[in-house]
C-alpha cells in the first residue's frame, strides 16, 4: 500500500534536490564540451565548496547562504587558473592526451581531498543556516523544506543566468563555437585560451556554490566528493554527451531516484541503484535516455 502523502512528499524532495544537481551537470557537460576533457575533480569542487560554506558561515552569524558570493568569486578565479594547466596536458605532442587530462584532474582531486582531510580531519561538518530550517506546508500537496526549496531556486536561477550568457552574449557564442570546433573557432579570431578559462571558471563557480547548498542540505565531509563525481557522470551519461537539455531531465531523474531509493529501499543503497541505472543506460542506449547525445564510448 503506497501512502499518497508520503509519495508526493518524496516527489517534492526529489525534484527540489534535482535542481541543484542540474547546475552541477550543466557545468560539467560544458567543461567537457569546451575542454574535451572529463573532469574527475568535479565532486571535489562540490566538497571544497561545502567546506568553504562551513568555514565562512560563522563570519556571517552562522548563515551559510551569505558565503555564496565569496565562493563564486574564489572558484571562478581557481577555475580560470586551473584551466590553462588542463589545456596544457591535453594538447601538444604528448601521447594519450585524453588519458593525461583524466590523470591530471585525478591528481587535482587527490590534492583537494587530501588537503581538506588533513586540515579538517575525517569528520562531518555542518554548514549552518538557521534562516533556512523548517518547511512550508502547502495544504493538499505536502511540505516544502525551506533549505531544499532555496537550493532549487538558486540552482534554477544560476542555470538561467548561465544559459543567458551562453546563448545571448558574444562571450557565450565564443564558448559555444569553441565547443563546436576548436580549430575553426581559432580561425574566426576567437581567443581560445581566454574563453576556455572563462568557461572553466564559470563551471567551477557553479559547482562550488552548489557544494555550499549541498552542505546545507546534507553535511560537509572530506570523502563526499567521489559521490558527486559519480553523479555528474551519471547525469551526462543519462543526458547523452553534449546534449544540454538532457542534463535537466537527468538531474531530475537523479534527484527522484535518490529520494525514492532512500525511502523505499535503503539510504545506504542509493549509489548501488544509481550504478545499476548507469550500467543499463550505457549498455542499452549509449547516446542517453533521449538518444540525442554523442555516443558514450
Partner 1 sequence: MTDDVPFLDRIPGARRHWYVALGVLLIVWPIAFGNFWARIGVGALMWIGLAQSWNMIGGYAGYLDFGHGAYFGIGAFAAGIAMVQFGFPFLVGFALALVASAAISYLVAVPTLRLTGAYFAIATWAFAESMKQAALVTGITGGTFGLSLPRSPDTLIGIAVPFEIGETFFYYAMLLLCLATMALTYYLFERHEFGYRVKALRDDQDAAESLGIDTTRVKRQVYVLSCVVAAVFGSVHAWYIVYIHPNDVLAPIITDRMVIMALLGGLGTLTGPVAGGLLVFLLERLSSVFLGSTTFYLPLIGTLIMVTVLFAPSGIIGILRGEVDRDDVRKNVRELGEKFDLL
Nine-digit cell string for 274: 544509481
**Cβ 170 to partner 1, closest distance in Å?**
15
CA dihedral 5, 22, 102, 165 (to 10 degrees): -170
When binding is defined by CB under 8 A, the residue of 278, 285, 292, 294 that contacts partner 1 is 278
Contacts of residue 158, Cβ cutoff 8 Å, sequence gap at least 6:
23, 206, 209, 210
The verdict on 108 binding partner 1 (CB under 8 A) reads yes
148 binds partner 1 (CB under 8 A): no
Question: Least distance from C-beta 231 to partner 1, angstroms?
Answer: 11
Residue recorded with cell 529501499: 265
When asked if residue 102 is in the footprint of partner 1 (CB under 8 A), the reply is yes
Among 113, 150, 242, 247, the residue binding partner 1 under the rule CB under 8 A is 113
Residue 5 CB, nearest approach to partner 1 (Å)? 29
Is the distance from CB of 64 to CB of 220 less than 8 angstroms?
A: no
Site residues for partner 1, 34-53, by CB under 8 A, read 38, 40
Does 111 bind partner 1 (CB under 8 A)? Our answer is yes
Tell me how far apart the alpha carbons of residues 76 and 115 are, in angstroms, rounded to a whole number: 19
Beta-ladder partners of 294 = 241
Q: Is 197 in the site for partner 1 (CB under 8 A)?
A: yes
Should residue 282 be labelled a site residue for partner 1 when binding is judged by CB under 8 A? yes
| Cα→Cα distances 177→19, 172, 189, 200, 248, Å | 27, 8, 11, 15, 22
Query: What letter would DSSP give residue 135?
Result: E
How far is residue 239's CA from residue 293's CA, in Å, rounded to a whole number? 7
Dihedral of the CA atoms 37, 41, 43, 44 (nearest 10)? Answer: -160
Query: What residues are paired with 241 via a beta bridge?
Result: 294
Q: Which of 73, 103, 137, 138 binds partner 1 (CB under 8 A)?
A: 103
Cβ closer to partner 1: 19 or 101? 101
Residue with smaller CB distance to partner 1, 55 or 117:
117
212 touches 51 (CB < 8 A): no
Binding mask 230-249 for partner 1 (x = CB under 8 A): x--x---x------------
107 touches partner 1 (CB under 8 A): yes
- Candidate residues 138, 194, 264, 291; the one interacting with partner 1 per rule CB under 8 A: 194
**Binding to partner 1 by residue 210, rule CB under 8 A?**
no
Residues 293 and 297: their CA atoms lie apart, in Å, by 12
Q: Does 296 bind partner 1 (CB under 8 A)?
A: yes
Nearest to 131 by CA among 68, 71, 40, 225: 68
Span interacting with partner 1, options 6-14, 17-25, 152-160, 223-231, rule CB under 8 A: 223-231
- Footprint of partner 1 (CB under 8 A): 38, 40, 80-81, 84-85, 87-89, 92, 94-96, 98-100, 102-104, 106-115, 117-118, 122, 191, 193-194, 197, 226, 229-230, 233, 237, 268-269, 271-272, 274-275, 278-279, 282-283, 296-297
Amino acid at each position: 500500500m503506497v501512502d499518497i502523502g508520503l509519495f508526493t512528499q518524496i516527489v517534492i524532495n526529489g525534484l527540489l534536490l534535482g535542481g541543484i544537481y542540474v547546475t552541477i551537470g550543466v557545468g560539467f557537460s560544458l567543461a567537457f564540451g569546451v575542454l574535451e576533457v572529463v573532469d574527475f575533480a568535479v565532486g571535489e569542487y562540490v566538497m571544497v565548496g561545502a567546506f568553504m560554506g562551513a568555514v565562512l558561515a560563522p563570519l556571517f552569524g552562522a548563515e551559510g547562504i551569505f558565503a555564496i558570493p565569496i565562493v563564486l568569486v574564489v572558484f571562478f578565479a581557481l577555475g580560470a587558473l586551473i584551466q590553462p594547466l588542463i589545456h596544457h596536458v591535453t594538447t601538444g605532442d604528448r601521447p594519450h592526451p585524453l588519458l593525461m587530462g583524466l590523470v591530471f584532474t585525478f591528481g587535482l582531486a587527490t590534492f583537494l581531498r587530501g588537503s581538506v582531510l588533513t586540515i579538517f580531519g575525517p569528520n562531518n561538518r555542518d554548514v549552518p543556516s538557521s534562516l533556512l530550517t523548517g518547511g512550508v506546508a502547502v495544504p493538499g500537496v505536502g511540505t516544502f523544506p525551506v533549505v531544499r526549496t532555496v537550493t532549487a531556486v538558486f540552482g534554477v536561477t544560476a542555470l538561467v543566468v548561465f544559459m543567458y550568457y551562453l546563448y545571448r552574449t558574444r562571450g557565450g557564442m565564443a564558448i559555444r563555437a569553441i565547443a563546436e570546433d576548436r580549430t575553426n573557432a581559432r580561425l574566426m579570431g576567437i581567443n581560445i585560451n581566454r574563453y576556455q578559462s572563462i568557461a572553466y571558471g564559470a563551471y567551477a563557480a557553479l559547482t562550488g556554490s552548489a557544494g555550499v547548498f549541498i552542505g546545507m542540505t546534507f553535511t560537509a565531509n572530506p570523502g563526499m566528493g567521489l559521490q558527486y563525481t559519480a553523479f555528474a557522470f551519471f547525469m551526462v551519461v543519462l543526458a547523452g554527451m553534449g546534449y544540454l537539455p538532457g542534463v535537466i531531465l537527468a538531474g531530475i531523474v537523479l534527484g527522484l531516484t535518490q529520494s525514492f531509493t532512500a525511502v523505499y529501499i535503503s539510504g545506504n543503497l542509493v549509489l548501488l541503484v544509481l550504478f545499476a541505472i548507469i550500467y543499463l543506460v550505457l549498455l542499452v542506449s549509449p547516446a542517453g535516455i533521449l538518444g540525442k547525445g554523442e555516443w558514450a564510448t
